[in-house]
A = this chain, B = another copy of it.
């Protein structure tokens, strides 16, 4: 039977996984049902299309195979010849009244359970019972099997730019995957210029791709990080121990919200930075408000790990091709414009450092720096030495409206990974005219993470004001998500939690000590 060896990084996601830190990524896709179509009929239709495939493409059709050393030794993907497809594709429903609140509660739960390692490492939940003729799909993949960009390729291959297109075969099938790759090859005829880079990456992977060398590699990485000077030590420098950087447990909280892409882009432009700088500034302002309102704002600025894709155009097969820079979020700066400037300076410096490196040095550095939390976890060091305060990850999605069997895709809200010592992850997808944010947090560490959504809006308004932009005009551009939850916005504290608030901090602190 054909098998494929896991790369070093892919296997780290399995090695680092435990009950408290599941290592799957995923998210919620939100749809509006096509006119005149019954919800149940629609969902049963897509479910049966999804199920009917002679063979499933990777990762849907492959399970993990380990040798006598288990996850510590070499691991392989192996074709699964007895897929129980009803196990992977599931129907779920929301309790009434079927608001986003109920959806987020369900997704929080689903994201907090481990995938079954005896099966292909994915689940897809078709969710009914939403208000306003919407429905949702929550998907979940092991990060060893997939990264954000790969999952966007899956989105592209699954959905259509036309409302008229109907599924004729399962987009999870081997055939569908092959056809998508063929179509993509036509678009990116020659990946020649990137090929060299790709070869370096492959060579590096091979170098670390041995179960025996893994621990010595990890050791070298941690040595470099723990203060032997040079740029490699950067991620650990001046990272405050904030309330976000605690040991975590397995339960999660998920919240999501869309903002018009144009609003955020305009801020970046007006302040002389990039779209990504504006995203970071928007999140930084929100984190400052959150920590301030909880009386937990550290004197030192928070640092964010910002992943960068290393995937070459046309590569839809590698499961993980991710590098990273460390960005200073300037959460200790009160003024929004100054905060933006500080963030911009930091991302500039991050990029400049790469510019001074040879292609292979850049690759090596990114290999070493990427997901440092994961690399340290097997050594048990992350919560004592937080490498960064949080992760803010930007995944480019399709830039035009997409449809699934005629249902309009309203938003793509990612749900990523919380690691030991880093209890918060903010991931965003640029889709159509929006930026869709998905925030995942440790349920215990950040019981009020939903407030970040309001603080992000507040932070964006501050930035718009600082940039001299018309805040009122921009505010009118509401998004599908924001429109439907006016109540949550007006009254962001659910009663039970609001009551707990004064005690919560003390209790959490007590727990950390115990």
Q: Is the CB of B93 within 8 A of A96?
A: yes
State the oligomeric state as a number of copies.
2
Q: Nearest-CB distance from A223 to chain B (Å)?
A: 28
With contact pairs A444-B84, A496-B86 given, residues A19 and B114 touching in the complex (Cβ less than 8 Å): yes
Query: Does A299 touch B at the CB level, under 8 Å?
Result: no
Q: Nearest-CB distance from A225 to chain B (Å)?
A: 28
CA A87 to CA B109, docked complex, whole Å: 9
The residues of B that contact A20 with a CB separation of less than 8 Å are: 118
Candidate in A82, A85, A114, A444 with the most chain B CB atoms within 10 angstroms? A82
Q: C-beta contact mask, A280-311 vs B, less than 8 Å → 1, else 0?
A: 00000000000000000000000000000000
Query: Does A511 touch B at the CB level, under 8 Å?
Result: yes
CA A415 to CA B421, docked complex, whole Å: 36
The residues of B that contact A444 with a CB separation of less than 8 Å are: 84, 118
Query: Does A179 touch B at the CB level, under 8 Å?
Result: no
Query: Does A95 touch B at the CB level, under 8 Å?
Result: yes
Q: Is the CB of A91 within 8 A of B105?
A: yes
The residues of B that contact A504 with a CB separation of less than 8 Å are: 82
The residues of B that contact A2 with a CB separation of less than 8 Å are: none
Query: Does A486 touch B at the CB level, under 8 Å?
Result: no
Q: C-beta contact mask, A491-510 vs B, less than 8 Å → 1, else 0?
A: 00000100000011001101
Query: Does A131 touch B at the CB level, under 8 Å?
Result: no
CA A114 to CA B82, docked complex, whole Å: 24
CA A129 to CA B95, docked complex, whole Å: 8
Q: Is the CB of A43 within 8 A of B95?
A: yes
With contact pairs A84-B447, A496-B85, A510-B82 given, residues A102 and B109 touching in the complex (Cβ less than 8 Å): no
Q: Name the interface residues of A81-117: CB closer than 8 Å to any CB of B.
A: 81-82, 84-87, 90-97, 102, 105-106, 109, 113-114, 116-117
Query: Does A443 touch B at the CB level, under 8 Å?
Result: yes
Query: Does A251 touch B at the CB level, under 8 Å?
Result: yes
With contact pairs A91-B95, A93-B93 given, residues A507 and B118 touching in the complex (Cβ less than 8 Å): no
With contact pairs A87-B443, A250-B118 given, residues A40 and B96 touching in the complex (Cβ less than 8 Å): yes
Task: Identify which of B92, B109, B250 contacts A95 (C-beta below 8 A).
Answer: B92
With contact pairs A19-B117, A508-B82, A511-B82 given, residues A128 and B87 touching in the complex (Cβ less than 8 Å): no
Query: Does A451 touch B at the CB level, under 8 Å?
Result: no
Candidate in A20, A97, A116, A504 with the most chain B CB atoms within 10 angstroms? A116
- With an 8 Å Cβ cutoff, the count of chain A residues facing the other chain is 46
Query: Does A10 touch B at the CB level, under 8 Å?
Result: no
Q: Nearest-CB distance from A409 to chain B (Å)?
A: 21
CA A129 to CA B91, docked complex, whole Å: 13
Closest B residue, CB atoms, query A38: B96
Query: Does A51 touch B at the CB level, under 8 Å?
Result: yes
Q: Is the CB of A116 within 8 A of B447?
A: no
Closest B residue, CB atoms, query A47: B95
Q: What residues make up the interface of A, taking CB atoms closer than 8 Å to B?
A: 19-20, 39-40, 43, 51, 81-82, 84-87, 90-97, 102, 105-106, 109, 113-114, 116-119, 126, 128-129, 249-251, 443-444, 447, 496, 503-504, 507-508, 510-511
**Top 3 A-B pairs, shortest CB-CB distance:** A82-B507, A91-B95, A93-B93
- Excluding A82-B511, A129-B129, 18 further A-B contacts by CB distance (< 8 Å) are A40-B95, A40-B97, A43-B95, A82-B508, A82-B510, A84-B443, A86-B496, A90-B105, A90-B109, A91-B102, A92-B95, A93-B93, A93-B94, A93-B95, A95-B126, A113-B114, A116-B249, A119-B251
A-B contact list, 13 entries, CB within 8 Å: A40-B97, A43-B95, A91-B95, A92-B106, A93-B94, A93-B95, A93-B96, A95-B129, A113-B113, A116-B251, A118-B444, A119-B249, A129-B129
